[in-house]
């Protein structure tokens, strides 16, 4: 007996999948996506830059704070910052600072860039950061930093006023030619960031109590092979691909040098997963790619929003926002359509490529669901 006989796909769901647009919110009624079998997959660490992450403590609850401080080597550095002003009745500013530790001037050039917030709309910030990062282009020229001097990597964020409970989300890849130190800083509007960075120690860690972690990591890109490289068949029914679950796909580990301890990035936020999978249609059905929020019943997981880069299908590929018509996917049966692939000709296979990164402000894991549908007659 095949998988789709165990989990029938209602005609209403198939009609929804046939007619929805890219990123559109849809309703998947009478279809339990939690019960779907999970695809088998394997990962291999791909070439990726050294990676610095700062989300511990997520909320700065003191007047002036340094959230992370790590040293990096010349080359490309990926940086992810996710912090909230946790001081009531205050206006603050938050920035990511880089100091030249070398003996010669340092050039800092942005290769990829996302700067979101400050805002209370956390899901818009999460998916907006992904969209900006995927669509960004390298700077033609960089900025020069003298030895022992310090600048803000993101001048837009550094100039912003951050109110209580507002979130800032920065995601960057920078190219540097000297060793450097990177720190995340919150201070008063009239205090220079450099002064605050130099006089404050790193905040005590609250990891796993508040925030996803902090530190420096060697893993930042992953290649994902689905079904041992063999094609999945629409005849076998709907399936899920579950990444960044902390179990089969463990959290990446590095070092939090402020504590001299192993760092664990809960959620693998900022890691880029390059997914390649083959599809065939021995039953003549097409395949829809859908995302939804399986943890919407939990107190702090009432929404999900994501951006992926995906192959062309019946809908335009490239960078797709899900959902594209509202801030977030809320409770089931809400979901969002990412892409729709027409049936593959008999005896042939199609390769699908998806670039995915766990979305900030959303609870994980976020299943990517593949649902066969019958084409319109």
The 10s digit of each residue's pLDDT in 226-236 is: 999 999 999 99
Residues 90 and 119 in one domain: yes
Which 8-state DSSP code applies to residue 77?
A: E
| Residue 197, pLDDT above cutoff 90 | yes
Chain mean pLDDT for the chain: 94
Residues 27 and 143 in one domain: no
| Total count of domains within the chain | 2
258 belongs to a structural domain: no
Which 8-state DSSP code applies to residue 228?
A: G
65 belongs to a structural domain: yes
260 belongs to a structural domain: no
Residues 175 and 83 in one domain: yes
Q: What is the mean pLDDT of residues 259-267?
A: 94
Residues 241 and 346 in one domain: yes
Tokens 């399986």: give the residue.
294
Residues 183 and 211 in one domain: yes
Residues 322 and 300 in one domain: yes
Can you read off the two tokens belonging to residue 92? 């603050």
Q: What is the mean pLDDT of residues 317-342?
A: 94
Residues 368 and 225 in one domain: yes
Q: What is the pLDDT of residues 126-181, one digit of tens each?
A: 999 999 999 999 999 999 999 999 999 999 999 999 999 999 999 999 999 999 99
| Residue 25, pLDDT above cutoff 70 | yes
What residue numbers bound the domain in which 165 lies?
Answer: 50-217
- At residue 126, φ and ψ (nearest 5 deg) are -60, -50
Residues 341 and 361 in one domain: yes
Closest alpha carbon to 87 in 60, 122, 127: 60
Give the DSSP H or E segment for 351. Answer: strand 350-356
Give the DSSP letter string of 255-315.
EETTTTEEEE-TT-TTPEEEEEEEEE-TTS-EEEEEEE-TTTTSTT-S-B-EEEEE--SSS
pLDDT at 159 (0 to 100) = 98
pLDDT at 2 (0 to 100) = 43
Residues 232 and 173 in one domain: no
pLDDT at 208 (0 to 100) = 63
Residues 61 and 204 in one domain: yes
Task: Give 331's pLDDT tier (boundaries 50, 70, 90).
Answer: confident
């Amino acid at each position: 007996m095949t998988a789709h006989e165990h989990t029938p796909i209602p005609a209403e769901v198939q009609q929804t999948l046939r007619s929805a647009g890219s990123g559109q919110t849809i309703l998947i009624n009478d279809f339990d996506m939690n019960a779907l079998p999970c695809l088998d997959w394997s990962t291999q660490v791909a070439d990726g830059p050294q990676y610095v992450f700062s989300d511990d403590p997520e909320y700065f609850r003191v007047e002036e704070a340094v959230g992370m401080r790590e040293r990096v080597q010349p080359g490309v550095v990926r940086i992810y910052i996710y912090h909230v002003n946790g001081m009531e009745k205050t206006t603050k500013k938050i920035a990511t600072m880089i100091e030249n530790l070398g003996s010669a001037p340092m050039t800092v050039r942005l290769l990829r860039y996302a700067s979101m917030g400050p805002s209370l709309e956390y899901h818009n910030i999460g998916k907006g950061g992904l969209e900006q990062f995927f669509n960004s282009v390298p700077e033609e020229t960089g900025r020069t930093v003298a030895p022992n001097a310090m600048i803000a990597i993101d001048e837009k964020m550094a100039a912003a006023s951050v109110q209580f409970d507002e979130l800032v989300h920065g995601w960057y890849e920078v190219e540097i030619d000297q060793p450097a130190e990177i720190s995340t800083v919150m201070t008063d509007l009239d205090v220079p960031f450099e002064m605050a960075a130099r006089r404050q120690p790193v905040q005590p860690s609250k990891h796993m109590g508040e925030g996803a972690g902090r530190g420096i990591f060697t893993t930042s890109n992953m290649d994902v092979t689905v079904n041992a490289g063999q094609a999945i068949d629409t005849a076998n029914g709907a399936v899920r691909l579950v990444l960044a679950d902390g179990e089969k796909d463990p959290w990446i580990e590095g070092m939090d040098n402020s504590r001299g301890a192993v760092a664990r990035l809960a959620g693998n936020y900022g890691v880029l997963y390059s997914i390649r999978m083959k599809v065939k249609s021995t039953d003549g059905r097409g395949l829809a790619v859908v995302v939804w929020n399986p943890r919407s019943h939990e107190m702090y997981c009432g929404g999900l929003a994501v951006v992926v880069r995906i192959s062309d299908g019946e809908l335009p590929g490239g960078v797709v926002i899900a959902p594209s018509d509202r801030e977030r996917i809320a409770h089931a049966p809400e979901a969002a359509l990412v892409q729709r692939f027409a049936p593959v000709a008999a005896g042939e296979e199609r390769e699908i490529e998806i670039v995915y990164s766990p979305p900030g402000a959303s609870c994980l894991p976020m299943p990517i669901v593949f649902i066969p549908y019958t084409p319109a007659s």
